[in-house]
Amino acid sequence: MSDSPARMPDHLCESGTVTDANGASVLATEAPQNRRVFLARASALSLVIPGMAALGACSAPESKGPQDTGTSSATRKTAAVPSREPHNSDSRLDSAVLKGEHKAGTSATASTSPPASFQRFDPVFPQLPVGGRLELHWRAREAAVRITDETVVAAWTFEGNVPGPIVHCRVGDTVDFTLTNEVDIPHSMDFHAAQIDPKQAFRSVPKGQSVNFSFKPKYAGAFMYHCGTAPVLMHIGSGMFGTIIVSPREPLPPAKDFVLVQNEFYLADAANGVRASDYQKMLNTLPDIVCFNGRPNQYVKEPIRVKVGDRVRFWVVSAGPSHPCNFHVVGEQFDTAYMGAPPGNAVRGVQTFTVPPGGGMVCELLCDVPGEFPFVNHGFGHGQKGAIGILLVEA
Ligand SMILES: [Cu+2]
């Protein structure tokens, strides 16, 4: 893309001045120019991640290290490369650590060998913690994750998988969480189930450092967690997301519970058998793959099995980063869907329930007919890209 004024629309000159229909100058808003500058930077950098694009977006490389408070604006102005000042368009939480030095060549492509075989992601969540307390110590690290027999993704992960581990607790339990960052790019953790000062708890940490915080979930439901380091789009889009299930204090009706977190993959061509994420594709919001629990069509290949008479409860999260999940089970209806924290706000007789990106919904159906019931994102442009599975109801 050219940044030349000659190629720009006539009404927008280089200075960002906008003219009206009569040629009179009117005050330009900042947004178009900021967007144009961003796109110019994006085209100047290789926006395939992990790699220089990630570094450009996440760091101020002229800075010397975590203790460096930054360089002068004069230094930045004389830099030969496009400006890489942090542009926290998605988050204002991490400017304190974005001045660290982050080296190139940190991608999983370079440092990790592909996993030997495909592994189905188990949609069943763990038992409740004993004593109402959950202590988690996770690592942010890079990993090559095989999402189909043919496709290996170079991912940024919590604990080496996409999605990250399923967390399960109850309303009022204490979740004590520590994240240690093992890689050069800063990372962080944002639990949607927490009410907490995000500037402290969700702050980014550089390599070798940890962040710790605890919280007591106030509401039941299916909640997303994700890395909140700017640009958030890149960190979620590269695999740093998952689900925390918060059960209510009073048990819900007995059911077979399953977690489905939908996400999109935006992938570059394979290099050495591994596909990196493509940030420009993320910005264009046209995914290559949309899927449940990080692997397209995995529950077609190996269905979720229940029995006639079972109540099935789906805890559905859309991690995005950009698209909703229009959740539908073919040949079934949700007898109950919860608009908010279950068991409150129950809606009866729902055919399709939309889960927005960054949201989670709980829906139940009673399996009184045997058969194979496809569960899909009924936005079929996305269902077709892998957001489909089979609920097998056996007699
Ligand atoms: Cu991250």
State the distance from the centre of ligand 1 to the C-alpha of 306, rounded, in angstroms: 36
pTM of the predicted structure, to 2 decimals: 0.75
Helix (H, G, I), strand (E, B) or coil at 54: helix
Q: What is the mean pLDDT of residues 117-137?
A: 95
State the distance from the centre of ligand 1 to the C-alpha of 72, rounded, in angstroms: 27
Give residue 113's pLDDT: 60
State the distance from the centre of ligand 1 to the C-alpha of 9, rounded, in angstroms: 36
Q: Which value, to the nearest 10 degrees, does the dihedral of the CA atoms of residues 67, 71, 72, 75 take?
A: 170
Give residue 266's pLDDT: 98
Report yes or no: 280 and 47 within 8 Å, Cβ to Cβ.
Answer: yes
User: What is the full DSSP assignment across 261-293?
Assistant: EEEEE-EEEEETTEEEEEHHHHHHT--SEEEET
- For residue 142, the cross-strand partners are 156
Q: pLDDT tens digits for 325-346? A: 999 999 999 999 998 899 999 9
Residues counted in the chain: 395
Give the tokens for residue 282: 């993320």
State the distance from the centre of ligand 1 to the C-alpha of 186, rounded, in angstroms: 6
How far apart are the C-alpha atoms of 293 and 385, rounded to whole Å? Answer: 14
Report yes or no: 223 and 193 within 8 Å, Cβ to Cβ.
Answer: yes
How far apart are the C-alpha atoms of 256 and 258, rounded to whole Å? Answer: 7
Given a cut of 90, is residue 33 above it in pLDDT?
A: no
Given a cut of 50, is residue 62 above it in pLDDT?
A: no
State the distance from the centre of ligand 1 to the C-alpha of 283, rounded, in angstroms: 17
State the distance from the centre of ligand 1 to the C-alpha of 297, rounded, in angstroms: 26
Least reliable range by pLDDT among 16-20, 177-181, 346-350: 16-20
Given a cut of 70, is residue 313 above it in pLDDT?
A: yes
Q: What is the mean pLDDT of residues 220-234?
A: 98
State the distance from the centre of ligand 1 to the C-alpha of 94, rounded, in angstroms: 11
